[in-house]
Each structure stands twice: as C-alpha cells, then as structure tokens.
Structure 1
Amino acid sequence: MGFFPKRTKKHGEWNLALSPDEQKKRRREAEERRRAIAERSSKRSKGQRSARSAASEREGNGVAGAIAREHTVAFALGVVDGALGLVSPDLWTSNLALRSPKRGLTATVAATAGSVVGGALTYRRSQKIGKRASRAEFLGRPGIGGSTLSRVERESARYGTRAMVSGLVEDVPYAAYARELGLRRVDMTEFLAWSAATRMTRFAAMTGGVAIASGLARSVAPRLTRVAAPVLLNAAWIAHYSYRWNKNG
C-alpha cells in the first residue's frame, strides 16, 4: 500500500471498443477530411501558380511591347537616314545600349532595314527626277553642301558601290551615295547588298562601342555612370549634328 491513493484511469469514448459499422463510419469521415484538406491545398497552390504565371505574362508582354516600340523607332530613323540623310539611327540604338547592350544591338537590325528602304527610295527618286532636281533637293537639306555632293560623285565614279565604305569613317550622309548611285544606274541588287553591309557595320560598331564603354564605366562607378552616361552621350550627339548641319551654312 502506498502513501497516495491510486487514481482511477478514465477512458474517453475514443478508447472504447467500437462496432465495425462505427469504425467504418469514422474511417470514412477521416478520409473525407483528408481529401477536403488536400483539395484546399491544391486550389491554393494552383491559385498561387496562376498569379505568378499572370504576373510573368504581363511582364513578358510589357517587355515585348517595349522592344517592338524600340525597333519601330529604329526602323523609322533608318528610313530618314536613307531618304533624307538628316539623322542616323545609331543615335537611338546607342542610347538603347546604355540600358541594355543586347536590345541596342538587336535594334540595329531594324535600323539597317529602315536605312536600306530609305536608300532604295532615294535611289529610285533620283532616277525619276534627274540629276539637277535631285541636287537641288539635297542642297536644301541641312549639312549637305555642294562639296559633299561633288565628293560623292568623284568617289562613286571611281569605286562604284564600294564608295559607300567611305561613309563608315567619314561624315558623309548615306543618302548622298544612294542618290549618286541611282543616277549612275548601278545594279539594284548590288546597291542593296552594299548598303546593308555598310550600314549594319556602322550601326553595330557605334552601338557596340557605346555598350562596351558604358559597361567599363559602370564597373568602376555604377551610380555615376547611370546618371552621367546618357547626358554625355546625347551631348556628344547634339554637338555632332550641330556641327554637321551648320558646316555648309
């Protein structure tokens, strides 16, 4: 006999012997509860996945729309480059390269396509209106003087379509070559091939150079580069075109 009386153990209903029917009923209820919990968990997971998928889709559509707009601007500036010779589209693609080198370089493809289209228009128009009328049109544009057209005439007479290579390093509008080569009625296929090669080389070199320079600067001073790079780049473009448009009066 101990010092403390023994406590009588109380058994709950769950510990009593259950009839077979009651056991089946409880097992069924437990299975239903587990199934309900699993269904709720599955719906919650699907909802989260759907939300993530919708967010990713919206983000992807936003990026795709931005790229489409960038290429549209590059193409339009390319047409202006080939048809009028006023602004080169690498002004735009180099700015894109500051934010994303890949997007800047891919936009050069659209810029090249637009430039070739504009060049083809100039090529055909010069044949249609003749040398005197096309010369008068070009002399009315900023940055294109008689000396520019005379130089293009001499180079085209000597080198043919290869004269366009000069435009890679010299400040001579591509449209001026398109006009002169159209007047000389060089083979259209040859003209388009050389146009695509020289314009793509020019745009890719300028855009890639800006991308490399900004990448190096960003590795040294990321915050300063993020603010100063666009200002310096566009100041350089403004200075370039101010000089070019005014050098011939």
Structure 2
Amino acid sequence: MTDLSTDTLSSVQRLHSSPDWLYLLREIDALYRFGSDGGSGPIRSHRKRVRDRLSAAMTQNPELRHRSALTKPVTAHFPRALDLGERSTMQGIARALREVKDALTWEYGYEKVTKSLSQKYAYCEILGPQGPVQCDTLILGFVLFAPNTTYPQHSHQDIEESYVSVAGAWSENNSAVYAPGSLIYNRAGDEHRITTGDRDPCLLAYAWVGPAERLASPQMKLTAPRKAK
C-alpha cells in the first residue's frame, strides 16, 4: 500500500534542500552583513533591516514556489553581465546567480511599458511574495539593463530600496558613476532615475523593505516627465 502522505511530503521542495537558491541567498546576506555602510547611519540601519529579515526567512526554511522561467529581450545581455560580474569583486554572487539562470522569471512590473524600455529592462524576484523563495517582509531580486539605457524617474510608496552593483557602470540622478560593489540607498518615496553606460549591460541586485501589504502589491508607476519651465 502506497503511503500518500509520505509521497506528498517528499515532493515538497524547501530552501535548505535546494543548494543553488540557498547559496545565492547566502551571497546576498554577505553583501549586507560584511559590506561597508560608508559611515552613513540610514544605510547602516537599512542594511540591518535587510539582513535581519533575510536571516529570519532563511531560518524558516520556506517552501519554494514554482514559477515558470521567462525571458525578455534584455536577457540576451545576461550572459555578458554575468561574465563581467565574475571578473569583479562581485564574482561570488555572479557565479551563484549563474547556477539558477535557467529558472529565473524575468518581468517588467508595470502595466504599461514603452516599446523602447521593453527592449532594455527587466527584473526577476528571488525572494518575496512572488519569488520562488517565499517571504512577506522583504523582496530581493535583480534588475538588468541593456547598454545605453535610461530607466525613467520613479519612486516606491512606503518601500525603502537599495541597489548593489553586480556588473556594469551606471548613475542615479546623474550624481555619480557607480561600479561593481557600490550600494545606493533610496528612502521610501525618493524619486530616482537610472542611466547606464553605452558599452556594457548593467546588473543590479536590489532589496525592498516595507509593509507586507505594500510588498505584496507595490503598484509600480513611472513618474510623468516634468515640463520644462
């Protein structure tokens, strides 16, 4: 007689029995645990919130949620981005990400995306309400940009955000050029605009911290361009 309960339990895949996902999350944990806060109190506090919530999620050994792999036009640049990452200080996370590259669900997150942006941008959620690793207090993922991309002005209501550069050169609000290893912090509601270099793609790891109800429904919107005065 077949023990159906045993068969059912054995078919459930959890984080601790999925080394590729587990190692990727450990690499992200290391970014927020051992990287520098640059002497910034707000960044230090944000980093702690990210690693505390990530640690709690990993300890719970959540069930993995199956999501179909999905590509977008920009993912044609993904192999190059990983190659660049593996040659930089971010080689650990780039190599861990390569191990799950065929299971990633790339998407836009907006109801309407311009034709130009749809060719040059996409993101994939790794941990969060929609990620393969379930968590309702934190979202972790990656965003990929093609060379010479402008990601329009936008903000996130009730969600604080950080980006960590994995590969490529980019700027936010035209304030500086950021290289692999750099961390940028945006407080909830901060408007920001991203531009990338014209030679190589740009790959960023991102973290969102906010209320569970907002993370479950971010309602992402691009800010309408301001008219010149």
Q: Provide the TM-score with structure 1 as the length reference.
A: 0.31
Greater share of residues in strand? 2
Greater share of residues in helix? 1
**Bigger CA radius of gyration:** 1
Q: Provide the TM-score with structure 2 as the length reference.
A: 0.33
